[in-house]
């Protein structure tokens, strides 16, 4: 498999009145094309900080981070935004769909921002996540699980190289979580999208090809899963 990204000895330290907080303390990982990675760890372990650094929402204070062989921009808001626009898809815990736009328009908006507007693909993705009958409805008119599936379709609509999600089923019941994750895995497989998800839920491991556990800003384990063997 082709290497998609590489982090080497990555650090994210914060200066606080109580002293320096090491949210990430020398993280080294490599993620290859097509992997579905789950980041597990207790609260405050640094997994969300790692996700923020992966997405270039946050700038590491030390170490190296390259994406497709190129250094990822840091400390430059516009370049970081540009990196996200070109490479990253993001799924939020609370979906964050724009409520003035319909389901379809939410997807078209992201395509438009990325300069890849393609209504046929947007409709195809909605079909993929099982929402072809809801295209003209507003987010406020559909259920939470449906909204999260729209968010997934939105996140992959511009064909990102890397799809990220932070507790993306944290706001859903078990049955809906399974539906959402099934839709997500299906979409990632069909689109050959690499994904990294942060979660507390050990039950989601079955959807991943790799599980990385993190604690106190350090990686404590990094294992391939059964799904990885099957694929």
Partner 1 sequence: MVSVGVFAGLTFGGYSHNLDGMYDSMQADDEDGANLADIWIDNRTTSWSPDQVQSFCNSLEDSLAQSSEMSLDSCEGRTIIPGAMFHGEGDDQEIINSLWHGIPSDANSDRIWMPEGHSKGRVAVANDEIVIDAHVAGALGIEIGSEVTIGAGNNSADFTVVGIGYHPLHVLMAPEGSMFPPDEGEYVVGYLSDSGISRLTGDVLGTSNMIVLDVEGNPSFDLPDTEEYEGDEIDEIKFYVENSLNSTELDARVRDRGQNEQVEVMRQDLEASKRTTIPFTVMIAAIASITIVLSLQRLVQSQSKEIAVLRTLGVERKSLMTGYLIAPVAIGAFGCLLGSLAGPSGMNWMLDFYEDIIGVPIIERSIPISTYATVIIPTMVIVFLSGTLPAWKASRLDPLEVLSGQTEMRVGSNTLRKLTSWMPTTLGLSIRSSVRKPIRLSMTFLAVGISLMLFGSIQMMSAGLEDTLLSGIEDDQSWDAQVFINPDGEGPVLEWAGNVSATSELLIEMPLGSVEDDSGIERIFTLVGLNNYQNGMRQVNLLDGDAPSNDSDAFQVMMDEGAMEFLSWELGDSQTVSINGVETDVEIVGITRGEMSRTMYFLRSDLSDITGINATSVYLDLPDGVEVNTELGEVSVGIVERQDIIDGITSLIGDQTKIFQAIMYLGLLFTIAVMLNTMIMNVAERDFELATLRVLGASTKRLGTMLLFESLLIGIIGGLVGVLFAYGGAVGLAASFSSWQFYVPIVVIPSVAYQLMGMVVLIAVAMTPIGVWRLRRMDLVEKVKDLSQ
CB 226, min distance to partner 1, A: 29
Query: What's CA 34's distance to the chain center, in Å?
Result: 13
CB 162, min distance to partner 1, A: 12
CB 163, min distance to partner 1, A: 12
CB 200, min distance to partner 1, A: 12
CA dist 127 and 130 (Å) reads 5
Token reading at 85: 């626009």
Looking at the Cβ atoms of 107 and 225, the one nearer to partner 1 is: 107
Label residue 100 exposed, middle or buried (CB < 10 Å: 0-12, 13-18, 19+): exposed
Looking at the Cβ atoms of 128 and 151, the one nearer to partner 1 is: 151
Residue with tokens 């049955």: 175
Looking at the Cβ atoms of 98 and 220, the one nearer to partner 1 is: 98
Containing 21, the helix (H) or strand (E) segment is strand 19-32
Looking at the Cβ atoms of 80 and 225, the one nearer to partner 1 is: 80
**What angle (nearest 5°) sits at the alpha carbon of residue 114, between those of residues 109 and 118?**
65
Instruction: Tell me which residue of 181, 173, 190 sits closest to 231, measured CA to CA.
Output: 190
Looking at the Cβ atoms of 2 and 77, the one nearer to partner 1 is: 77
Looking at the Cβ atoms of 101 and 185, the one nearer to partner 1 is: 101
CB 85, min distance to partner 1, A: 3
Q: Which residues bind partner 1 (CB under 8 A)?
A: 48, 52, 55, 57-58, 77-78, 81-82, 84-86, 88, 90, 92-94, 96, 98-102, 105, 108-110, 112-114, 136, 138-141, 154-155, 166-167
Half-sphere exposure of 182 (CA within 13 A, CB side): 9
Residue with tokens 């089923």: 169
CB 215, min distance to partner 1, A: 20
């Amino acid at each position: 498999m082709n290497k998609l990204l590489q982090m080497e000895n990555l650090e994210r330290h914060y200066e606080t009145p109580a002293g320096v907080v090491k949210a990430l303390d020398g993280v080294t990982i490599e993620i290859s094309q097509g992997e579905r990675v789950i980041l597990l760890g207790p609260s405050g372990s640094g997994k969300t900080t790692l996700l923020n650094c992966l997405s270039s929402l946050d700038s590491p204070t030390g170490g190296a981070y390259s994406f497709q062989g190129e250094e990822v921009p840091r400390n430059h808001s516009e370049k970081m935004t540009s990196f996200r626009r070109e490479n990253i898809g993001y799924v939020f815990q609370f979906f964050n769909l724009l409520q003035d736009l319909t389901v379809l328009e939410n997807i078209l908006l992201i395509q438009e921002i990325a300069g890849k507007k393609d209504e046929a693909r947007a409709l195809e993705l909605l079909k993929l996540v099982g929402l072809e009958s809801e295209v003209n409805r507003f987010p406020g008119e559909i259920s939470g699980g449906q909204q999260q599936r729209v968010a997934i379709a939105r996140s992959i609509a511009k064909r990102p190289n890397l799809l990220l999600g932070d507790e993306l089923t944290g706001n859903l019941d078990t049955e809906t979580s399974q539906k959402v994750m099934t839709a997500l895995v299906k979409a990632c497989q069909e689109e050959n999208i690499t994904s990294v998800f942060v979660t507390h839920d050990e039950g989601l491991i079955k959807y991943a090809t790799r599980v990385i556990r993190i604690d106190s800003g350090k990686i404590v384990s990094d294992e391939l899963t059964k799904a990885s063997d099957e694929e």
